[in-house]
Structure 1
Amino acid sequence: MAVPTRAWCFELPKADVHVHLEGCIPVDLLEAAARAQGVDLPVLDESRGLDGLLEHLDASCRLLVDPGLVAELGSRFARRCTWDGIVTADVIFNPTHWPAWDGRLGEFVDALDRGMSDAEADGHPPVRLLPSVKRDQSAEAALALVDAMVALGHPRVVGLSIDGNEAAAGPTGERFRPAFERAAEAGFHRAVHAGESSGPDGVRDAIDLLMAERVDHGVRAVEDPALVAELAARGIPLDVCPTSNLTLGLYPILHSHPVDELRRAGVRVALGTDDPELLGGDLTHEYHSTAAAFGWDHGTVAEVARTSIEVSFAPDELKAELLAELDAFVARAAVEG
C-alpha cells in the first residue's frame, strides 16, 4: 500500500477548518509591530504547555494595534493557504487576545476583511471568520459577543467558536449554552474546542449543550467508546491537529495519537493546523506525516480531505465546486500514476 508523497498531499485540494488567527502571525509582522512600540518580541515557553501558548498569543496580539498590520495579517493568511494547497479556510479569532481592539470588533473585522479581500482578488482562497468565546469569560460576555456579531452583520463572519484551557476553566457548557443557542437562532455555525485539555465529558458538553456542528480537537473522545459510537452515528466531525497535540504534550509520538483509531471507528475526521506559524508545520505536513504514521493510502487521505471541505462553513455552492475539484484531482492523479 503506497503512502502519498508530500507533493501529492500539497496538490490535494483540502480545507483548513481548525486554525487560529493568533497562531498565524508571521514573525516579520511581529518584529515590525515590536519595533514600532519599542518592545522585545515575546518568546514562547513550550514547557508550560497550553497555558504558555495562550499567554504567548496574548503577548503577540497585543502588539498589533495598527489597522494596516491587521489588514496585512488577513492578506498573508489567505496567501499562506495557497502556499499550502488549501482551497478554503475557517479561521478562528478570539477578541480577548486583541486588547487594542476591545469594543471595536467591527473595525478589527473590517481590517482583516480588507486584507483577505485583496488576497482573494489575486486568486487566493476564500476565508471565513469565527469569533470565539474564551472559557474563562462570563455568560454575559459571551452573549455580548453574539449580539455584537449579529449587529455587525458582516458576511465574512459566519460562526461562533469557543476555546481556552478546559482543564483550568472546568465545565463551562451550561454557562455558555445561552450564547450558542442565540448564535444558532441567528443563523451562525458552531465550532467548539473540546476533548483536548478535557476528557470525553468536554466533547459531550460540546455536542449536547453547545450544539457543536464541529468539534475542534475532540481526540479524547476515544476514551469513551459509547461517545465514539455516538459521534460516528450522528456524523459529527472532529477537526484534529496532530502536530499541536504532540507539541503541547497530549501524546508523546504521532504513532500513539488516536486520529486513526477514531477514523476507523467511523468518526468523520478532518486535519487542521491549529497555530501553524507558532508551532511550525503546515496542513500539507499534517496530511503527509499522518498518512506515513498510519499507512494511509491515497484513497484514505483523499477522503479526509473530502471531509474537511464538507464540514467547512463555506457556502454550499463553493463546497460543490471544491469537491468537484478534489474529484478531478484524484481521477487525474490515478491516471498519471
Structure 2
Amino acid sequence: MPERTQSAPRIDEFDIRALPKAEVHIHLEGSFALIDILTLAKESGSALPGPASTIFDITTHGAYAAPEVTTGGGSGVGAGGLTGFLGFLDWQCGLVRTREQAARIAYSFAARQSSAGVRYSDVIVNPTHWNAWRGRELELMDAFAAGFDDAEQDGLCVTNMAYSLLRSQSAIEAEDIVGALVAARPRRVVALSVDGDEKVSGRTGEKFQNAFAAAASAGFHRTVHAGESSGPEGVWDAIDLLQAERIDHGVRAIEDPALIKTLIDREITLGVCPRSNVSLGIYRDWQSHPLPRLLDAGVAVTLNTDDPAPLGTTLDADWAVAATEFGFTYDDLAGFAERSIDASFANDDLKATLHSELQTTIAEHS
C-alpha cells in the first residue's frame, strides 16, 4: 500500500463514485430516505414522532446529533443514544405494511447505493424491526427481492440480503429461522447474520452455534457483528463458533495480536464503519480509529457506512472523509474498492466483471 500522509491532496468525490465497488456492511433498516419515511407515514395515517423538521435532522444530519424525538413508546432518538436509535428504526420499519411498500423500500435502497457509486451490496435485514411482518418474515424477504429485481433490471445496484438474527433471540428461534431459510431458499437471501448490542446481550456465539452450522451446511454465507462494543473475544467467538467468513465491525481485534494473525491467516475480512464507531462512542474521533493500523498490520479491511441515513452520510462521503482524515491516496481507495468486491457475496461472474471495470477505471484515472 502506498505510504499515507496527512497532507495528501483531497480526492474528488466524483472520482470516488466512479470506482466500481461493493458495500458489505449496511443495514436496510438504516437506509430510509426522508421521502421514504414521510410517504410511508402519510400512506399509513401514522403521526410523525415529532415535527417533520426533526425527522429531517435525523435523516440528513444524523440521529445521534439530532434533537430528542419520542416515539409512541417513549424512546428518544439523538439524546436517547443507541436505545433511542433502535426505537426509531422500529418505528420507521413498522410503517412498511404492504408488499408494494416493502418492494419500494428495496428499490429506493438500490437507487441510493447507485448514487454513491456502489455496484453491489450485501444488505443486512433484521426482520425483528419490521413488526407488521411477524410470522410472515419470508414474505417480507420475497417482497424486498421483488424490489431488488426491479432495480437490477433498471440498471441499479445489484443487491442480495443477509438475513440477520437478533442477539436476544433464543437458540431455538435461531435454529427454526435457519430451518425455514433452508427449506424455502428465499430469493436473494445469500447469508446468515447476527446483530444487536453485544454489550447488553453478552457473548452469544455458543447459543447460535448450531444455527450457523446448519446455515453453513446448506451453503449460506456467514457474516457476524462482533468486536464493536465487545472486545476481541466477540471476534474469536464469531470465527471459532459461528464459522464467520466476514466480520461486521471487528475493530477491537486491534487489541489482540493473535487475533490479527488469525484474521490474516484465514483471510477473514473486516467490514469497518468508522463514522458509526465514532458516533456511538467506540472511538472518540476519526483520528483515534484503528482503521490505518488494521491495514498496516495486513488485515483485509473494507470501508462501509453501517446505517447511513440516521448517521447522515453516504459511502462516497465517508470514503472522502477517510481520505482526508487518514491521508489515503487514490490508490488506497482503489484498494478498498478491490477488497470490497473480493469480500462481497456476489457471484463469481459479477465479481469478475467488477474487477475488470475497476482496473479500467484505475487505468483511465492514471
Alpha-carbon separation, structure 2, partners of 1:3 and 1:191:
33
8 Å contact from structure 1 (residues 29, 69) kept in 2: no
2:126 counterpart letter in structure 1: N
Alpha-carbon separation, structure 2, partners of 1:54 and 1:202:
21
- Give the 3 Å change call, closer, same or farther, for CA 21–40 of structure 1 in structure 2: same
2:142 to 104, 110, 117: 110
Alpha-carbon separation, structure 1, partners of 2:200 and 2:110:
33
The equivalent residue for 2:354 is 322
8 Å contact from structure 2 (residues 142, 187) kept in 1: no
The equivalent residue for 2:17 is 10
Deviations 1:237-272 (A, max 9, x none): 100111111111111211111111101100000011
Deviations 1:138-175 (A, max 9, x none): 00111111111112212311010000000000010000
Structure 1: any 5+ residue segments left out of the alignment? none
Secondary structure (helix, strand or coil) at the match of 1:41 reads coil
The equivalent residue for 2:202 is 170
1:23 to 18, 24, 30: 30
The equivalent residue for 1:282 is 314
2:21 counterpart letter in structure 1: K
Is it true that 1:216 corresponds to 2:248 in the alignment? yes
Alpha-carbon separation, structure 2, partners of 1:203 and 1:226:
12
Secondary structure (helix, strand or coil) at the match of 2:47 reads coil
Alpha-carbon separation, structure 1, partners of 2:101 and 2:231:
38
Secondary structure (helix, strand or coil) at the match of 1:115 reads helix
Secondary structure (helix, strand or coil) at the match of 2:305 reads coil
When the two chains are superposed, the root-mean-square deviation of aligned CA atoms in Å is 1.3
TM-score normalised over the length of structure 1: 0.96
Total equivalences in the alignment: 334
8 Å contact from structure 2 (residues 77, 87) kept in 1: no
The equivalent residue for 1:187 is 219
Deviations 1:195-251 (A, max 9, x none): 111111101111111111000000111111221222122211100111111111111
Secondary structure (helix, strand or coil) at the match of 2:26 reads strand
Is it true that 1:232 corresponds to 2:237 in the alignment? no
Alpha-carbon separation, structure 1, partners of 2:210 and 2:85:
28
Deviations 1:296-334 (A, max 9, x none): 112111111100010000001110110111111001100
Structure 2: any 5+ residue segments left out of the alignment? 1-7, 50-68, 70-75
Secondary structure (helix, strand or coil) at the match of 1:172 reads coil
1:95 to 124, 127, 135: 127
8 Å contact from structure 1 (residues 30, 64) kept in 2: no
1:90 counterpart letter in structure 2: D
Secondary structure (helix, strand or coil) at the match of 2:206 reads helix
Alpha-carbon separation, structure 2, partners of 1:56 and 1:201:
30
1:268 counterpart letter in structure 2: A
Alpha-carbon separation, structure 2, partners of 1:181 and 1:41:
42
Q: Name the structure where helix makes up a greater proportion of residues.
A: 1
8 Å contact from structure 1 (residues 93, 131) kept in 2: yes
Secondary structure (helix, strand or coil) at the match of 2:207 reads helix
2:43 counterpart letter in structure 1: A
Alpha-carbon separation, structure 2, partners of 1:187 and 1:302:
30
Secondary structure (helix, strand or coil) at the match of 1:175 reads coil
The equivalent residue for 1:34 is 41
Alpha-carbon separation, structure 2, partners of 1:286 and 1:211:
29
Secondary structure (helix, strand or coil) at the match of 1:212 reads coil
1:37 counterpart letter in structure 2: S
Is it true that 1:148 corresponds to 2:155 in the alignment? no
Q: CA deviation at 1:3?
A: 4.7
Alpha-carbon separation, structure 2, partners of 1:192 and 1:148:
20
Alpha-carbon separation, structure 1, partners of 2:224 and 2:315:
20
Identity of aligned residues (%): 47
Deviations 1:74-126 (A, max 9, x none): 11111111100001000010111112111212321221122111111111121
2:337 counterpart letter in structure 1: A
1:77 to 103, 109, 117: 109
8 Å contact from structure 2 (residues 40, 96) kept in 1: yes
TM-score normalised over the length of structure 2: 0.88
